Amino acid sequence: MNIPTLFDRERLGERKRPVLIGAAIIVVALLLFLLWPTTEPEESEPASQTTAPLALKLGDAQIKTAKIGLQTVARGAATQLLLPATVAASPSSTAVIDARGSGVVRSVSKNLGDYVRQGEAVARIESGEAAGLASQVSSALARVNELQAAYEREKRLFEQNVTARQDLEAAQANLAVARSELSRARAAAAAAGVSADGRSIAVISPLSGRITKAPIVLGSYVAAGDELYHVVNPNGLQIEVALPSADAARIQPGDEAAIVMADGREIGTRVRSVTPALDPESRSATAVLTLPGAVPGIQPGAFLQARLKPSGEVLTDAVAVPEAAVQSIEGENYVFVRTKSGFVARPVQIGSRSGGMVAILSGLEPGTVIAATNAFLLKAELGKGSAEEE
């Protein structure tokens, strides 16, 4: 039996040393695994909250107070064009009142903003032309009186067989000519509004309406043709819409339209006419919309927006919603869908835009009720809630 020497024992110890070190490492690893906490860090909890639906609880009273307009989504909505428009007066409802003769303004009876009636005198001008017209009337009247007397004299002589019939007929013809001249002189004086004393002529309004301009000044000298007043009939206003060259051929007389007021109201109307040619400067055509009578808050020269619906044009099979209904949240497009308890933000994929409408390619079905107006308030409320949670 071989007894191991000291040298053999040392070599055997060197061989067992790595095995012992490995066993020690395994034991330490097992202890760390058993003692390590099994719960997740608190920072991971908000991750589950981000997957929660973007919902808001709002009652009917709150929706009404916030003026959030609801709309049912429909398929194949009509194409609409939202274009700038201007309020203008039609040619038959506006008038420029000018001076019919040269002279000095002696009286002013109407001022800016006053209502005038058709045929009413709004001012008077002392003019030499008034004296001339009055003189023509006086001369014509004197001529008529003279020829009237001559005709009556010829008539008596003819009845006494003193003069021939042709003399009577000549006197009658001269009297008719004189009467015609008198009628013409009186008509000219009446049209000019010559006063009874023959010193002044009247400034007369040719239509009923409101005075929108009044550059007339009492005591100033005016020449014939100078503008003294500008009158507009509020019942004869029209809306002129600028049509880009690309859309001019799409709009036809009779197409549906709506006027968008500054407060959000819309007044339904129709296209009355479209200019056949483009303006050489703006390169646009003009569509004229009629107004259903006088509309409060509309003044000539005001700028509005008009919503036009080209007849026969509809969007694709995709549903369409107002642009204001689509809100961007963290770079994605959302629409707020009405629920029993309020609203929920639903992601959608949008398509083309036309006249304030957006085509929804996916994410929304026809018949869904959404927030069509003031949806940005819901977005703000949603962001406010997220900030409070953080």
What letter represents residue 46's amino acid?
A: P
Which residues fall within 8 angstroms of residue 14, CB to CB, at 6 or more apart? none
**Residue 12 pLDDT > 50:** no
Q: Would 203 be classed as within a structural domain?
A: no
CA-CA distance, 274 to 254, in Å (whole number)? 10
148: domain CATH number?
Answer: 1.10.287
Instruction: Pick the range with the lowest mean pLDDT from 176-180, 315-319, 336-340.
Output: 315-319
Which pLDDT does position 321 carry in this prediction? 85
Q: Which of 300, 291, 242 is nearest to 81 (CA)?
A: 242
Q: Indicate if 176 and 146 belong to the same structural domain.
A: yes
Which pLDDT does position 389 carry in this prediction? 54
Residue-wise pLDDT for 277-327, tens only, equals: 888 888 888 899 988 777 777 778 888 888 887 876 555 556 778 888 999
Task: Give the residue from 292, 309, 326 where a domain finishes.
Answer: 309
Q: Is 168 helix (H, G, I), strand (E, B) or coil?
A: helix
* Two structure tokens written together for 107: 């009286």
Q: Would 214 be classed as within a structural domain?
A: no
Mean pLDDT on 343-365:
81
Which pLDDT does position 74 carry in this prediction? 76
**Residue 81 pLDDT > 50:** yes
304: domain CATH number?
Answer: 2.40.30.170
Q: Would 322 be classed as within a structural domain?
A: yes
Which pLDDT does position 44 carry in this prediction? 38
Q: Would 65 be classed as within a structural domain?
A: yes
Q: Which of 293, 294, 323, 318 is nearest to 307 (CA)?
A: 323
What is the chain's Cα-based Rg?
46
Which pLDDT does position 245 carry in this prediction? 82
What is the tally of structural domains in the chain?
3
**Residue 32 pLDDT > 60:** no
Q: Using 50, 70 and 90 to split pLDDT, how confident is the model at 48?
A: very low
Q: Using 50, 70 and 90 to split pLDDT, how confident is the model at 78?
A: low
Mean pLDDT on 173-177:
92
Q: Would 226 be classed as within a structural domain?
A: no
Q: Would 337 be classed as within a structural domain?
A: yes
* Two structure tokens written together for 296: 């409060």
66: domain CATH number?
Answer: 2.40.420.20
Q: Indicate if 136 and 162 belong to the same structural domain.
A: yes
> How far, in Å, are 242, 317, 367, 369, 389 from residue 72 at the CA level?
31, 16, 6, 4, 32
Q: How large a percentage of the chain has pLDDT more than 90?
A: 17
Mean pLDDT on 172-191:
89
Residue-wise pLDDT for 199-228, tens only, equals: 888 888 988 988 988 999 999 999 988 999
Residue-wise pLDDT for 64-77, tens only, equals: 888 899 988 877 65
Q: Answer for the pair 323, 92: CB distance below 8 angstroms, yes or no.
A: no
According to DSSP, the residues that pair with 375 across neighbouring strands are: none
Mean pLDDT on 22-50:
48
Mean pLDDT on 8-13:
47
Instruction: Pick the range with the lowest mean pLDDT from 110-114, 207-211, 361-365.
Output: 361-365
Task: Give the residue from 309, 343, 374 where a domain finishes.
Answer: 309
**Residue 126 pLDDT > 80:** yes
Instruction: Pick the range with the lowest mean pLDDT from 11-25, 219-233, 251-265, 276-290.
Output: 11-25
Q: Would 253 be classed as within a structural domain?
A: yes
Which pLDDT does position 49 carry in this prediction? 37
Q: Indicate if 282 and 332 belong to the same structural domain.
A: no
- What is the rounded average pLDDT for all residues in the chain? 80
Mean pLDDT on 41-62:
59
Q: Domain of 86? A: 81-92+234-309
Q: Indicate if 290 and 278 belong to the same structural domain.
A: yes
Q: Using 50, 70 and 90 to split pLDDT, how confident is the model at 15?
A: low
* Two structure tokens written together for 282: 């703006």
Q: Of 390 and 141, which is predicted with more confidence?
A: 141
Q: Indicate if 385 and 319 belong to the same structural domain.
A: yes
Q: Indicate if 85 and 146 belong to the same structural domain.
A: no
Q: Would 60 be classed as within a structural domain?
A: yes
Q: Using 50, 70 and 90 to split pLDDT, how confident is the model at 132?
A: confident
* Two structure tokens written together for 169: 């007929």
Instruction: Pick the range with the lowest mean pLDDT from 30-44, 68-82, 284-298, 371-385.
Output: 30-44
Helical (H) or strand (E) element with 239? strand 237-244
In the sheet with 209-213, reading across from the earlier edge strand, the strands are: 94-98, 227-232, 209-213, 115-116
**Most confidently modeled range among 32-41, 226-235, 300-309:** 226-235
What letter represents residue 307's amino acid?
A: R
**Residue 334 pLDDT > 90:** yes
Task: Give the residue from 143, 166, 196 where a domain finishes.
Answer: 196
CA-CA distance, 318 to 316, in Å (whole number)? 5
